[in-house]
Amino acid sequence: MDDNKKFAFTKNNYILLGIGVLLIIIGLFLMQGGGSEEPNIHNVDEMFGFRRTVLAPFVIIGGFILNVFA
């Protein structure tokens, strides 16, 4: 057998890739929620709050950027 088997990525690359995927999943969880039981009532402050419109997209984009570098 050939002993020159090498992986495409190193251990650090796999760790960074996992962290990037985790950041994407965390960002998606930050975007969800905020539904009301009454379909005609919308909580605008909760729907368009900082967490959903600013924080979650930045976390997701950060995860994608980290995956590009991984």
pLDDT at 43: 80
CA distances 22 to 33, 64, 65, Å, are 19, 10, 13
pLDDT at 28: 96
pLDDT digits (tens, 9 = 90+) for 9-60: 899 999 999 999 999 999 999 999 777 778 788 788 888 889 999 999 999 9
Domain boundaries, the chain: 11-34+43-69
b/e sequence 27-46, b meaning 16+ C-beta within 10 Å: beebeeeeeeeeeeeeeeee
Q: Is the pLDDT of residue 6 over 90?
A: no
Predicted TM-score (pTM) of this structure: 0.81
pLDDT at 37: 78
